[in-house]
Each structure stands twice: as C-alpha cells, then as structure tokens.
C-alpha cells in the first residue's frame, strides 16, 4: 500500500510532494491534466517571495517540477473520481477504472474559473469567450475586448491585454474594484482601459463568434449593447471538490473544510491549496498548505495524530 496519494499537481500538490519526500514518505502525485494547475497560464508572477520576477507561471512551475523530480516523486496522469476507505487505508478511484490503495491522501485539486451564466455563453467559449488572457490575448490583437470582474485576476489580465488590444472594457457588477490598490492605480492610469461600473452581462451575441454583449445596469436596470470581439471572464473560482469527496464537509461554495493542520473530517484525508476554505488563494498559501499537509501526514503515519 502506498503511504501517500497526492491528488492534484498544482503548487499545493507539488509542495506537499517536496515536503513528504523529504520526510521519507513514499508518495505519488495523480494529476488529471498537466503539472502546474492554474498558474501555468499566467504571463507574469511578481509576488512569489524569493522570486523577484516577473516570471511566467510556466517557468515557475518548471522549477517546482525539477525539485519534485529530483526527489523521485512520480507524477501519474489520472483523473481521480472518488476517495473512500477507513482508518486502515483509502482507496482512490480514477476514471480509467483503475484504483490505488494509500494510507493517507492529500486532496490538492484546486479550482477552476466560474462562468457568467449569461445567455449563449456556452456557445461562444473558445469562439471569443476566454478565461485566460495570457493564452488567448494574442488572437485579439488590435481589437476591442471586455474583461468581466473586479478582483486581482481581472485587473492583472486587463493590464496584460492593454499592450495587445485596442480597447478594454472592464465590466464590473459593483461600483468599485476588489483588486489590490497597486493594480487599481495601474489600471486607472492605462488609457485604453475603460470601466463600466454596476453592470452585468446578460447575453453574448454573435453568429460564429462574439460580436457584442447585451449589458444591464445593476443600479437602474437599463440595457445597452457593447460591441466587442472577445470577452475574458474573471469572476471567481469553483473548487474541484464536489465530484469525488462527498464525505468531506464542504462550506456553501463547495470548498473543503480543514483545520489548521489541513485535516478534513475524515482521518487520513487532508486538503491543501485553493480547494479548501481559506482566506487567501495564492501561490504562497497553496505552497504553505502543501507543506503543512505533508507534515500532518507524517504525524498521522507515525501515529502522532
Ligand atoms: C490567471 C491567474 C493568475 C494568477 N496569478 C497569481 C499570481 O500572480 N500570484 C499568486 O500568488 N497567485 C496567482 N494566481 C492564483 C494561483 O494560481 C492559485 O492560488 C494556485 O495556483 C492554487 O494552487 P493549487 O495547487 O491549490 O490549485 P491549482 O493550481 O488549481 O491546481 C490543482 C491541480 O489539480 C488538478 N486536478 C483537479 N481535479 C483533479 C482530479 N479529480 N484528479 C486529478 N487531478 C486533479 C488540476 O488539473 C490542477 O493541476 C493566479 C490564478 C490565475 C487563474
């Protein structure tokens, strides 16, 4: 039986692997897509302590992977669909029909972008609607685009787009941003970024690709049409928790509840990173969670908790 199965190869999972391997715990990472998770699409990371940057998410993750490989932790490309078991061990099931037994599990499956729920949204994903300016911004060179959201990601990606596209309309349902002051200042001083406050997207219009958005004011209910060629959506995250860990207590949004040692309500099952209830969802907190979770697994395996 494997000592530790780490589900998810993002920053939380990779950090957990580094710490677990250095404790001498035999572990494997199970990742459904590619190592790195959400940050892989970011062009500029500037706030990871010790890495003054700017560094791309891809390059940063290469360093994480190098460290994990040097510790001989294998990464297997499998999509976890269920975790079950008791105090003797857990069974982790994958969608290819295979399963493994492990004494402990760390769930580090992160989160994925929340959708708008606007009419026609599904039809235009990949045809003008994107969740990643770094990946798709180039396709909109010289064009007009909308960015929906008011947090760090929305403003960060607007600033990135401002160097590529003609004009950016930041559509935000409130009348002020949630983004950090430093990002706000940069955005307010960028001439081709325009803010549409207290506004939501109701419908995405177009034939083959996005041509315009039907907008509605959250203040007076008035409607308007905004002509754009693309829409970038940054309105939050959905935790990748629900499908495969129903026994674990979730809060209303589906994040996994843990204590400060990353323990869930099931003995031997831990959670780390963006998938758990936490006040800040960043690289540094994901890395920290991974380290704490691995330490807790170590204590669990030697019978200290
Ligand atoms: C565009 C963007 C820019 C950002 N910029 C910054 C920044 O500059 N600085 C910063 O600190 N933070 C930034 N963040 C936030 C940061 O990326 C996240 O907080 C961090 O990556 C979370 O790491 P994680 O390992 O918890 O989750 P994730 O990165 O989401 O990784 C989870 C991994 O688990 C895998 N997985 C999911 N479900 C399963 C399953 N069922 N089976 C197997 N594998 C599974 C996923 O494929 C993924 O690889 C940014 C986020 C985005 C989206």
Tell me the pLDDT tens digit for each residue of 115-125: 999 999 999 98
Catalytically annotated residue among 135, 175, 243, 251:
135
For residue 42 and ligand 1, the question of a CB distance below 6 A is answered with: yes
CA of 237 to the centre of ligand 1 (A): 10
Q: What is the CATH number of domain 121-233?
A: 3.50.50.60
Any idea which residue has 């490309």 for tokens? 77
Residues 6+ apart with CB under 8 A from 97: none
Please state the rounded mean pLDDT for residues 218-233.
97
The pLDDT > 70 percentage for the chain reads: 97
pLDDT of residue 35: 95
CA of 136 to the centre of ligand 1 (A): 18
For residue 180 and ligand 1, the question of a CB distance below 6 A is answered with: no
In whole angstroms, give the CA distance from residue 304 to residue 268.
12
CA of 224 to the centre of ligand 1 (A): 35
Q: Which of helix, strand or coil describes residue 3?
A: strand
Q: Crossing angle of helices 181-188/152-162, nearest 10°?
A: 30
> Taking Cα atoms as reference points, which of 30, 34, 59, 33 lies closest to residue 44?
59
pLDDT of residue 261: 97
pLDDT of residue 246: 59
pLDDT of residue 47: 85
Which CATH entry fits the domain spanning 2-113+237-301: 3.20.20.10, 3.50.50.60, 3.40.630.10, 3.40.50.300?
3.50.50.60
CA of 151 to the centre of ligand 1 (A): 16
- Is 80 known to be catalytic? no
pLDDT band at 46 (very low <50, low <70, confident <90, very high): confident
Looking at the predicted structure, is the pLDDT value of residue 29 above 80? yes
pLDDT of residue 161: 96
Pocket test for ligand 1, best of 5, 7, 9, 10 (most atoms within 8 A of CB): 10
pLDDT band at 243 (very low <50, low <70, confident <90, very high): low
CA of 227 to the centre of ligand 1 (A): 32
What is the residue extent of each domain of the chain? 2-113+237-301, 121-233
Catalytically annotated residue among 136, 229, 274, 289:
136
> Taking Cα atoms as reference points, which of 9, 6, 5, 3 lies closest to residue 26?
3
- Is 27 known to be catalytic? no
Nearest CA to ligand 1 atom 15: 282
Output the average pLDDT for the chain: 93
Please state the rounded mean pLDDT for residues 122-139.
88
The two three-digit tokens of residue 224, written as one number: 């308007």
Where b means 16+ CB within 10 Å and e means fewer, 284-303 reads ebbbbbbbbbbbbbbebbee
Please state the rounded mean pLDDT for residues 139-161.
95
Name the E strands within the chain. 2-7, 27-31, 75-77, 80-86, 89-94, 99-107, 111-113, 129-130, 144-148, 167-171, 193-196, 199-206, 210-217, 223-227, 230-233, 237-239, 269-271
Pocket test for ligand 1, best of 7, 38, 106, 288 (most atoms within 8 A of CB): 38
């Amino acid at each position: 039986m494997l000592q530790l199965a780490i589900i998810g190869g993002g920053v939380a999972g990779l950090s957990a692997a580094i710490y677990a391997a250095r404790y001498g715990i035999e572990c494997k990472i199970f990742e459904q897509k590619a190592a790195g998770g959400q940050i892989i699409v970011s062009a500029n990371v500037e706030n990871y302590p010790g890495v003054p940057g700017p560094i791309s998410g891809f390059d940063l993750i290469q360093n994480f992977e190098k460290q994990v490989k040097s510790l001989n932790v294998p990464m297997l490309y499998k999509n976890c669909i269920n975790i079950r078991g008791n105090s003797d061990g857990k069974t982790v099931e994958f969608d290819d029909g295979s399963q493994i037994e492990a004494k402990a599990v760390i769930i580090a499956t992160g989160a994925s972008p929340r959708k708008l729920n606007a009419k026609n949204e599904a039809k235009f994903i990949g045809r003008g609607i994107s969740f990643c300016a770094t990946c798709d911004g180039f396709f909109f060179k010289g064009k007009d685009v909308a960015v929906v959201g008011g947090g760090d990601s929305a403003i960060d990606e607007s600033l990135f787009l401002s160097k590529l596209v003609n004009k950016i309309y930041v559509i935000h349902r409130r009348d002020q941003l949630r983004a950090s002051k430093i990002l706000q200042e940069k955005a307010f001083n960028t001439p081709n970024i325009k803010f549409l406050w207290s506004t939501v997207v109701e419908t995405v219009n177009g034939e083959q690709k996005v041509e315009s958005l039907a907008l509605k004011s959250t203040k007076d209910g008035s409607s308007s049409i905004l002509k754009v060629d693309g829409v970038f959506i940054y309105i939050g995250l959905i935790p990748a928790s629900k499908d495969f860990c129903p026994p674990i207590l979730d809060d209303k949004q589906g994040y996994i509840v843990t204590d400060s040692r990353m323990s869930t309500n099931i003995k031997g099952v831990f959670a780390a990173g963006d998938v758990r209830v936490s006040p800040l969802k960043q690289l540094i907190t994901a890395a920290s969670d991974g380290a704490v979770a691995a330490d807790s697994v170590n204590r669990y395996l030697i019978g200290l908790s």
